Amino acid sequence: MDFPSELIQFLKKAERVSVLTGAGVSQESGLRTFRDAQAGLWAQYRPEDLASPEAFARDPKLVWDWYAWRREAVKGVRPNAGHYALVEMENRIPTFTLITQNVDGLHRFAGSRNVLELHGNILRVRCADCGTFTEVWGDDSESVPRCETCGGMLRPDVVWFGEALPRAELEAAVSATREAQIFFSIGTSGVVQPAAALAHAARNKGSIVIEINAEPTPLTPKTDFAFHGRSGEILPELVKAVWG
C-alpha cells in the first residue's frame, strides 16, 4: 500500500502519538467484533442486550455464561500482526499511548506497555457486591459463582452499557488525546461513547487524525487520512514505510 509522503514525514518526526483501538484490531486474531453476529447458541442475542447491568440482574447465569464463552475464545487466540505493529510504533515514538475499547488483553499480550483499557478486561473477574477480584471460582452449571469474601455474585471486570468508565483510565485517555500531535482510530465503528468522542476531541484540538478500518465510519469524513482495509495488513506496512 502506498502512503502519502507527508504522512510518512509526520510520523518520522512525531513525538506524541495516541491510538484508539476497537474490536476490529482483534478480528484477525479470530475474535468476532462486537457487532458481528454472535455464534451458535448466542446468535439469538444482540451484544448490547447482554452487556448491561439490567441483563445481569434479569438473568445472571445467561450473562455469566456468555462471558465464560468469550473468555475461553480469548484464551484460545494470539495477537496478530496489527498488535505487533503497534508495539513497534510504541518503540519508535517518544510518547505513545494506546487507548483500547477491547477487553481481550491482546495489546499487553503482544508487548504494548502504555495501554489504557477503557472498557475493562474480560479475563479479570470481580464480585458484583464487594468488588473483590478473584482468579478462581467454582464451576457450578446451575448458578453464577459466588464471592468467597461476601457471597455476592461474580461478574466480569468489564464496563457494561450504562456503567461509568474507570475514571483513571478515562482521564489519562483524555489528556493523552489532548497532548497528541497524531491520533489514530483503528478497528472501531466509532459509535460507543465516550470512547468515540476522543477522535473528535483530537481533531478539534488540531491533531492529525488517521483512521484505519475495514469500512468507512462516521469519523471518516473528519479524518486527515483514512485507510480502509485490514489493520493486520495496513499497520505493518505503515510501520515499514516510516521506520523501515
Is residue 94 exposed (0-12), middle (13-18) or buried (19+ Cβ within 10 Å)? exposed
Residue 179 or residue 201: which is nearer to ligand BV8 going by CB?
A: 201
Among Zn ion, ligand BV8, none, residue 102 binds (CB under 5-8 Å by kind)? ligand BV8
Applying CB under 6 A, the span of 108-116, 124-132, 136-144, 228-236 interacting with ligand BV8 comes to 228-236
Among ligand BV8, Zn ion, none, residue 147 binds (CB under 5-8 Å by kind)? Zn ion
| Position among 162, 206, 221, 244 found at the interface with ligand BV8 (CB under 6 A) | 162
Query: Which residue do the cell numbers 505503515 mark?
Result: 238
Min dist. Cβ of residue 68 to Zn ion (A) = 19
Residue 101 found at the interface with ligand BV8 (CB under 6 A) = yes
Give residue 149's Cα distance to chain centre.
Answer: 31
Edge-to-edge order in the sheet of strand 182-186? 115-117, 95-100, 16-21, 182-186, 208-213, 225-228
Q: With helix as H, strand as E and coil as C, how does 7-39 read?
A: HHHHHHHCCEEEEEECCHHHHCCCCCCCCCCCC
Residue 215 found at the interface with ligand BV8 (CB under 6 A) = yes
| Position among 33, 114, 134, 220 found at the interface with ligand BV8 (CB under 6 A) | 33
Among ligand BV8, Zn ion, none, residue 189 binds (CB under 5-8 Å by kind)? ligand BV8
Within 10 angstroms of residue 6's Cβ, the number of other Cβ atoms is 11
Residue 188 found at the interface with ligand BV8 (CB under 6 A) = yes
Query: Is 119 in the active site?
Result: yes
Tell me the torsion sign for CA atoms 170, 53, 147, 75: negative
Contacting residues toward Zn ion, per CB under 5 A: 127, 129-130, 132, 147, 149-150, 152
